[in-house]
Amino acid sequence: MKVKVTENCMGDRRCNDLCPEVFEYNEDELKSRVKFEEIPGEYQAIVRQAAEECGAQAIIIEDD
Ligand code: SF4
């Protein structure tokens, strides 16, 4: 599973709060970024939840 955050991110950091192990805020780009190239299995469920809850629909999941 791969995940990316698009330019639609509005920077409310909700995903950071939900799963700080995977998402962090990039102060330079003013949007969140994903820490992993490949999402570890233990975080995949919470990442799916973050994608569903993202108000900007900015979290895009690419399943293998
Ligand atoms: S929840 Fe969505 S809009 Fe909010 S910081 Fe994360 S990616 Fe950006």
Helix, strand, coil % over all residues of the chain, rounded to 5: 30, 25, 45
Q: Is 53 exposed, middle or buried (0-12, 13-18, 19+ CB in 10 A)?
A: exposed
2-20: average pLDDT: 98
Take atom 6 of ligand 1 and give the residue whose Cα is closest: 15
Predicted TM-score (pTM) of this structure: 0.95
Residues of the domain holding 39: 2-62
Chain segment 20-54, per-residue pLDDT in tens: 999 999 999 999 999 999 999 999 999 999 999 99
Distance CA 35, CA 45 (A): 16
How many domains is the chain partitioned into structurally? 1
Q: The tokens of 50 are what? A: 């973050």
CATH number, domain at 51?
Answer: 3.30.70.20
Mutational test site, ligand 1, from 12, 17, 60, max ligand atoms within 8 Å of CB: 12
Strand partners, 23: 34
From the CA of 6, how far away is ligand 1's center (Å)?
9
pLDDT at 19: 98
11 φ/ψ sector (left φ>0, alpha ψ -120 to 50, else beta): left
* pLDDT tops 90 at residue 64: no
